[in-house]
Amino acid sequence: MRYRLLGPSGLRVSELCLGTMTFGEDWGWGADKDTSQKIFERFADQGGNFIDTSNNYTNGTSERYVGEFIHAERDRYVVATKYTLRVNPANPSDANLGGNSRKSMFRSVENSLKRLNTDYLDLLYLHMWDFTTPVEEVLRGVDDLIRSGRVLYFAFSDTPAWVISYAIAKAEDHGWSKPLGVQIPYSVLGRSVENDVLPMAREHGLAILPWGLLDGGTLTGKYAQPGDEPRRESSISDAERAAAETIVKLAETLGRSPAQVASNWVRQQAGNVIPILGCRKVAQLDDNLGCLDFKLDAEAMSTLDQIAGFRLGFPNRFLYSSHVRELIFGDTFALIDRL
C-alpha cells in the first residue's frame, strides 16, 4: 500500500479506501459484525488507513462498527462519513430530517460522532445535493464545524460539477474552508462523470474518490447466472453481461481476476484517483487488494475503453474535436506545453 495526499491538503491517505456500506446486516446483504471486523483488520494490516462510511449506512450500524474497530488506534485512521440522508426508521413527515441544510448537517454530525465514539471526523462529505439549500449555507456550516474542531476536512459526493466549482469560488472569496475532493460513481461501464465532474476535479486538483468500480459486482461476471447469493442488483442487462464477459476474458489472459482488472482501469485514470473498495467477505477484499500488484498496459486499457461505446457529450466532444482546435489554434496546439 502506498499513500496519496487527499486533494489540495497535507493529509496522507492510503491509495485505496475501504468502503463500509456492507458493515451490518440491516439491509439484507451486508456482513455480520465478526466478518466486518476481519475485513477491517485485513485492510489495516495491508497498510490501509482510509475508511469510508455514512450516517445512513445500514441504518447507523456501519458507523457503530467502525467506531469500535478504530477506537484503540483512533488517530491512525482517516475516517470519512457523510451527511444528507435520513437514517431509518425515519419520520416521513419531518421535513428537516434530511437534506443539505445547516440544521441537518449539525444534527447528523453530532449523531455520527456519537456512533463513531470519536471527538472529530477527519472528513465530512455532503452526501447528495438536494437542489434546495444555498451553497453558501453549506460552506458556512462546514467552516463553523472545522473551526470548532469537530470536522477537519470537507468534500462533496454525488453533486453536480457546477455546484462544486461554485462552492470553491465562494469559499475562496469568503476565506471559508474549501472542499478538497469529490466522491462519484465510476466504472468501465459507467463513465458519464467524464463529461463534467472529472474534468472539473482535475482542473481544481481535487481528490477523485470513485465508488461502484465493479457495478455492484456485475463486472466480475458473478451475476451472469441466477443464484441464491444475496445481491444488490436484482437484474443484469445485456450490456452489463457483455461487459462482464469482456473483462473476464481479458482477466484470464492476464492471469488476474476480473475485479482487479476493472479496478485498475479506474485506478489508472488521470488525476488524484483514490478508489473506494466495497466487499462483504475477506476473500473479496484480498482479491481487490491484488490490483496493487500490477498495471494494465495500453492495449488492455484500450480494450476496456471500448466496452461501453462511450462518447463524450457536449461541450467537451465538440471543443476537443480536431476541427475546433484547428479553428482556435491553427496547427500550434501540439506545440503548447500546458502544465
- Whole-angstrom Cα distance, residue 119 to residue 149? 8
Q: Write out the three cell numbers for 18.
A: 475501504
Buried b / exposed e over 213-226, threshold 16 CB at 10 Å, is bbbbbbbbbbbeee
Helix (H, G, I), strand (E, B) or coil at 50: strand
Active-site annotation holds for 57: yes
Could you give the angle at the alpha carbon of 22 between the alpha carbons of 266 and 227, nearest 5°? Answer: 85
- Structural contact between residues 12 and 3, judged by C-beta atoms closer than 8 angstroms: yes
Contact 13, 6 (CB under 8 A): yes
- Using CA atoms in the order 9, 214, 203, 6, what is the torsion angle rounded to 10 degrees? 0
The strand ranges marked E within the chain are 3-5, 12-14, 17-19, 50-52, 78-83, 121-126, 151-157, 181-185, 207-211, 272-273, 276-277
Active-site position among 57, 65, 125, 186: 57
As a whole number of angstroms, the distance between CA 257 and CA 198 comes to: 27
Query: Helices 102-116 and 61-70 sit at what angle, rounded to 10 degrees?
Result: 50
Place of cell 470548532: 148
Q: What is the DSSP letter of 331?
A: T
CB atoms within 10 A of CB 317: 12
Q: How far apart are CA 246 and CA 152, in angstroms?
A: 42
Largest Cα separation within the chain, whole Å, is 63
287 vs 294: CA distance, rounded Å? 13
Active site residue ranges? 57
